[in-house]
Structures are given as structure tokens and as C-alpha cells.
A and B are shown apart, each in its own frame.
Chain A
Amino acid sequence: MSLQTLVGEIETRFTGVVIEKIVDEKKLVKIVVSPENIKSVALYLRDSLGFDHVKAVTGVDLSRLLKKESRIEVIYHLGSYTREELSKSDMALSTKLDKANPRMPSLNDVWPSCEYHEREVYEMFGVVFEGHPDLRRLLLPEYWMDMPPMLKEYEPPGR
């Protein structure tokens, strides 16, 4: 069962929710949805299609690309241990947030494996996950007072 058919199934089930998609079996398969619908799509992916854990949560600051948009993209990379045929796939679910006020619902009750990943995206990009049980900083020192360091406006002090 290839990923193209999976993406087709998601599109027929949730009509009009998928904003963009990238389908390239060798590199990455990604669907972009809006923040209000992300939880229902995540529940469908976990219960009906069998993606049972999250491998990583990435934040990307899209403000210096060639096609600029002042947004932050949060990508959930999914994987499956229970279904053998899906273990070769690189499936991703993502959403784009406004850079001035990035808030989105937390997917911690759908997949408990993304607790620490979401805390890291919170401190590195400033994205607030609503509903996360314990949102505080993870890797940066306790007295860090500057802006979140992974944004493109932040220049490291040596340069």
C-alpha cells in the first residue's frame, strides 16, 4: 500500500482540509493542514492508519526563503512500529503558524512520545502548545533572557 493511496484516502475523508502536499516517495511525503483541524487528522492517522509514534517535531522559520512568508512551520514526523509495510515510509504532518503569535493545540494526548520534542520547539521558536501538561524550557540555561535562538533574526554573538 503506497503512500500515494494513503494521501488520497486522507483527502477524500477530510475534504478541503489539506492545504498543500508534497508526495515524493524517495524523499518525503508531507501534508499541510490548518491548526484547527490538526487534531482530528492526527486521531485519524493514529487509529485507522496505524501511525503510532512520533519520531521528531521540527520547527522551520520560513522568513528567509526565496518565496518569503512570515510564518513558522511545525512538522510532525510519524512512524509505525506495528504495521510492517509502513516502516519504509517517511510521513509527515505539518501546519503553518503566524510568526507574530504562534499558538497551536498540543498533540501530546494523541501521541505521548512528543512531550519533550514540543518543549524544545517551545523554547527554540517561541511556539506555545495549548494543552501541554508541562511546558517549560528544556535545553537552554535557566537565565536565558534573549529571544528564542532558532529564529532567523537571532545572530550568534560571535558574528
Chain B
Amino acid sequence: MSAFLARGPKIFPGHFKTGIFGYRFTDSSSIVNMVEESEVKPEKVDEVVAQYGVEKVNRLETPKGVEYVLYRFRNFRLIRYLLNWGRMASLFPAHITTACCSVEFAATHSPRYDPERFGWLPATGSLRQSDVLVVEGTVTSKMAMRLRLVYDQMPDPKWVIAMGACAISGGLYAKDSYNVIQGIDDILPVDVYVPGCPPRPETFFQGILLLREKILYGGVA
């Protein structure tokens, strides 16, 4: 249950890429920070588009009012803390089931181990309104394309939990299967790894609590 938190040098506008094979860190939150810091000034838009293409340009529209205050002082500790607290206290997981661990995911939402008291609510079917992507179980090559599309459609900030042995490293099918991806590390940046086959609901719960700690403090104790 660990993830790297390396932060690289200050990034110049237009000099990075998002998407597959373009990121340098294995952590979703650092990708979010990269997006926030790499704006392109309006004068230089045409140049960057000609060089890198339309998808590689990130422009932040100038915020107004309260949003301007939050944006201008976003590195101050109190505001950062409040923003993080707001994000961690109401996580909405996206509903994508991949394989057999989905049974223990559903059992975690039973009345006995209740995650709603922590704000974790799998309420919507829409991807554009969720924060966390829980990859439960084995990812085959047919499903991997769709999984990447789903991750790209979620808005920032977003986090990824890899649940089960098959999502961490291929699991039970690590050597002999011709259709299984050996761990989702190659496709998505993962924040929390939850081991088990399938993990007990208590174990998955500990993963949720670790993710909350990580969002709030920027690291795990």
C-alpha cells in the first residue's frame, strides 16, 4: 500500500504531455498538479498548437470572484488544507467492474461494513461526476482499452485504487494466461494498492482510509 510521491523540476508551459506514456510520475495527484501549473499564455497558443497539436494545450480560463481568490492563494497552507479536506470527505467512486473482486466491492457496501459514514458513495453511473476509479480484479487486453478511455474521461482531481492481486501484478494468472495484463501499473497511475484474492471487506476499508489520509496530508505516515 504505497505510491511514489516524487515531484520533478518546475515544468515550462507546453513542455509536457498527458495521456499514455507521457507522464513521469506514478501518482495521480502529481499529474493534477502538473496540469494546474502548466498553463499556456494566450499569445503563445498558436505556436504550441502548431508544435504539439490541439490536445496538448492546457489553458486555464481566468477565474473570477471566489475562484480567483482560491486560485491565487492555492499554495497557502490553510486553503490547501480546506480544499483537501473537501476532496477527501466526499469521494464518489466510478462504477466499473472488471472481474470477480466486484463481489467483495459490493459486500463492502453492505450494512455491516458501511463506508457511507465516511462519505464514500457509489451513487452515480456517470463518469463525469466521480473522483475515484476502483479497478477491481483482472484486466484483460480487451478491457484495457476501455479502462483507459474511462480514466481519460474522468475530470481532475482523480485517484486510482488497485484492488485485488490481479490488478497489482497479474495475480493468479501471472504466468500462463495469454490474455491478461500483468498489473495495471502499465496503463494507469495508481495511488493505493489493496492486496488479497479477493480482499476481505476490512482490508478494502483500510485502503479507503489510507487514500483519505494521503489526500489530506499529501502522503502516508
The finding on whether chains A and B are genuine partners in a shared complex, rather than unrelated, reads yes
Main SS class of interface, B? loop
Query: Size range of the interface on B?
Result: under 10
Mark B39-56 against chain A: 1 for CB-CB distance below 8 A, else 0. 000000000000000000
Main SS class of interface, A? loop
Q: A142 to B142: give the CA distance in the assembly, Å.
A: 8
Question: A141 contacts which chain B residues (CB < 8 A)?
Answer: 140-142, 179
**A residues 123-159 in Cβ contact with B at 8 Å:** 140-142, 149, 154, 156-159
The answer to whether the Cβ of B12 comes within 8 Å of any Cβ in the partner chain is no
Question: A158 contacts which chain B residues (CB < 8 A)?
Answer: 174-177
Query: Size range of the interface on A?
Result: under 10
Q: Which residue of B lies closest to A141 (CB)?
A: B142
Q: Is the CB of B141 within 8 A of A156?
A: no
Q: A157 to B174: give the CA distance in the assembly, Å.
A: 10
Q: A141 to B175: give the CA distance in the assembly, Å.
A: 19
Least distance between A95 CB and chain B CB atoms (Å): 27
Question: B175 contacts which chain A residues (CB < 8 A)?
Answer: 156, 158-159
Q: Is the CB of B178 within 8 A of A156?
A: yes
Least distance between A25 CB and chain B CB atoms (Å): 36
Some 9 contacts from A to B, beta carbons below 8 A apart, are: A140-B179, A141-B141, A141-B142, A142-B142, A149-B178, A154-B178, A156-B175, A156-B177, A158-B174
